[in-house]
C-alpha cells in the first residue's frame, strides 16, 4: 500500500488517478476559500442544508436519465439534477426565513431533514428498478473515486478550477459583506445579490464535490479549513488563502490515499486529513495554538512568581514556595538555601522602590485609567517619562539598600 501511495502522490498511478488528485486539490482549495466567507458570515449551517438538498436531485436525475434511454450514470446529468435540487432547497430556506417567523437555523433544519428524507426514499426506490445501473449510486453519500471514468475526472477537475476562479473574482465584495453588511450596503453593494452569489458558489462546490467527498461530508471540507486557518492569522485575506491551501492539501492527500487503497471511501479520508490538519493547528499554531497558550501561561506564571519572590526578599521574608525558589535560584538571585545574593537584593530593592513609585503616581495623578494600568508586572518606565519618575523619586527620597544575610 505504501508503494501505491507513493506512486499516487507523485501522480504516477495512472491518468485517471492523477486527474482525480488534481481535481480534489482544486475542489479543496475552492471549498476552503469559499467556506471562509460562510464562516465569517456565521452561516456554516447553510452549506449543510445545501449538501443534503442535493440528494433528491440525484435521484430524480437518475430516474429521468433512465427514462430517456440511458443507464442513469451520467455524472454531468446527476450533477445538474443535484444543482437544481440544491437551488430549490436554498430558495425554500430563504423563503421560510423571510416570509415566516422561523429563524434561519430552524428553516435550515426543516429543509435539510425533509429533502434528505425524500432523497433516501428515492434512492431506495431506484434500487428496485429493473432498468439503469444503480450500483455505486450510494457513493454520492460518502464519495468514491474507484471506477471513476476519465470524463468524470475531467468534469470534476474543470469544475474545481472554475470554482477557484470564481472565488478569486468575488473575494473582495464577499469579504466586505461577510464582515459588515451594513457598510457594504452603504458603499453601494447589493448585499442580497452578493449573498446569493456566495450561496451559488457554495452550491457549485457542493455539486462538484458530490462524487469525491459525498453530500454528507462536503460541509466538512467547506468549514474545517477556514476554522483551521483561523489559528494561524488574524487577517481575513490571509485566512481565505490559507484555508484554500489547507483544503487543497486535504483534498489531494485524501484522494491519493483513497486511490492507493480502493476499499477506503474517498470522502471520509479527505475529511480525516482535514481534521488532522485542524488538530495539528489547534496544538502547534504559534499565536492561537494550545502549546503557545500553555507557554504564555507558563511565562506569565514565572513573571508573577519572580516578582512575588523579590518582594518577599525586599520585606525580609523567607521564600518557601518551591517553584519561586527554583526560579530565583536559576537566575542567581538567591542561593539554594533561600538566602538572597547581592544581585537578588539589588533586584528586590528596585521592585520595592517601583512599588513606592506607583503609590506616588496614583497619589499625584488620581487617575483611575492610569492606575488601572498597574498590574504589578508592567515596568513603571513603560508608562511614565523619565522626568515624571524623577519627580516620584524626589518625593520618595534616596533609595535604601537592603541588608545582606
- Confidence (pLDDT) at 405: 46
pLDDT at 195: 81
Tally of CA atoms within 13 A in the half-sphere of 87 that contains its CB:
11
Q: What is the pLDDT of residues 156-204, one digit of tens each?
A: 777 778 888 888 888 888 888 877 788 888 888 888 888 888 888 888 8
In sign, the C-alpha dihedral spanning 323, 329, 332, 337 is: positive
**In Å, what is the CA distance from 27 to each residue of 82, 188, 207, 315, 356?**
17, 32, 10, 66, 63
Within 252-339, strands assigned E span none
pLDDT in tens, 263-316: 677 778 888 999 999 999 999 988 788 998 899 888 888 888 888 888 888 777
pTM (predicted TM-score): 0.74
CB 380 within 8 A of CB 358: yes
Rounded CA-CA distance 139/212 in Å is 8
Bridge partners (DSSP) of residue 340 are 334
C-alpha cell at 208: 462538484
Positions of the chain with pLDDT under 70: 1-17, 71-73, 130-149, 152, 262-263, 320, 367-376, 399-405
149: helix, strand or coil: coil
Which grid cell is 321? 514556595
Q: Of all helices (H) and strands (E), which one includes residue 94?
A: helix 75-99
DSSP 212: T
User: Of how many residues is the chain composed?
Assistant: 405
What domains are defined for the chain?
A: 2-265 (1.10.3470.10), 291-396 (no CATH)
Rounded distance between C-alpha atoms, residue 339 and residue 151, angstroms: 80
Residue 340 φ/ψ, nearest 5 degrees: -70, 140
CB 230 within 8 A of CB 277: no
CB hemisphere CA count around 128 (13 angstroms): 4
Amino acid at each position: 500500500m505504501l508503494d501505491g501511495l507513493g506512486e499516487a502522490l507523485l501522480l504516477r498511478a495512472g491518468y485517471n488517478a492523477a486527474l482525480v488528485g488534481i481535481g480534489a486539490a482544486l475542489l479543496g482549495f475552492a471549498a476552503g476559500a469559499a467556506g471562509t466567507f460562510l464562516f465569517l458570515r456565521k452561516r456554516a449551517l447553510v452549506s449543510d442544508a445545501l449538501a443534503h438538498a442535493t440528494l433528491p436531485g440525484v435521484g430524480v436525475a437518475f430516474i429521468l436519465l433512465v427514462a430517456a434511454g440511458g443507464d442513469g450514470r451520467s455524472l454531468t446529468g446527476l450533477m445538474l439534477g443535484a444543482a437544481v435540487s440544491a437551488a430549490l432547497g436554498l430558495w425554500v430556506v430563504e423563503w421560510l426565513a423571510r416570509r415566516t417567523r422561523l429563524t434561519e437555523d430552524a428553516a435550515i433544519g426543516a429543509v435539510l431533514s425533509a429533502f434528505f428524507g425524500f432523497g433516501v426514499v428515492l434512492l431506495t426506490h431506484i434500487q428496485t428498478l429493473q432498468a439503469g445501473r444503480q450500483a455505486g449510486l450510494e457513493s454520492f453519500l460518502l464519495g468514491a473515486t474507484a471506477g471513476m471514468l476519465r470524463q468524470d475526472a475531467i468534469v470534476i477537475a474543470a469544475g474545481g478550477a472554475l470554482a477557484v476562479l470564481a472565488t478569486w473574482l468575488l473575494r473582495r465584495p464577499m469579504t466586505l459583506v461577510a464582515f459588515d453588511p451594513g457598510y457594504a450596503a452603504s458603499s453601494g453593494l447589493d448585499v442580497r445579490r452578493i449573498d446569493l452569489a456566495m450561496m451559488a458558489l457554495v452550491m457549485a462546490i457542493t455539486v462538484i464535490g458530490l462524487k469525491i467527498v459525498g453530500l454528507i461530508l462536503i460541509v466538512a471540507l467547506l468549514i474545517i479549513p477556514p476554522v483551521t486557518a483561523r489559528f494561524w492569522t488574524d487577517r481575513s485575506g490571509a485566512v481565505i488563502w490559507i484555508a484554500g491551501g489547507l483544503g487543497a492539501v486535504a483534498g489531494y492527500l485524501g484522494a491519493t490515499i483513497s486511490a492507493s487503497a480502493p476499499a477506503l471511501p474517498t470522502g471520509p479520508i479527505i475529511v480525516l486529513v482535514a481534521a488532522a490538519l485542524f488538530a495539528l493547528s489547534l496544538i502547534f499554531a504559534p499565536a492561537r495554538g494550545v502549546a503557545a497558550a500553555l507557554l504564555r501561561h507558563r511565562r506569565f506564571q514565572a513573571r508573577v512568581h519572580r516578582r512575588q519572590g523579590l518582594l518577599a526578599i525586599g520585606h525580609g521574608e523567607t521564600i518557601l514556595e518551591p517553584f519561586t525558589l527554583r526560579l530565583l535560584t536559576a537566575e542567581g538571585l538567591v542561593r539554594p538555601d533561600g538566602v538572597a545574593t547581592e544581585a537578588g537584593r539589588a533586584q528586590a530593592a528596585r521592585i520595592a522602590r517601583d512599588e513606592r513609585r506607583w503609590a506616588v503616581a496614583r497619589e499625584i495623578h488620581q487617575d483611575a485609567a492610569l492606575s488601572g494600568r498597574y498590574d504589578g508586572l508592567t515596568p513603571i518606565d513603560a508608562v511614565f517619562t523619565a522626568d515624571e519618575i524623577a519627580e516620584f523619586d524626589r518625593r520618595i527620597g534616596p533609595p535604601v539598600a537592603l541588608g545582606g544575610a
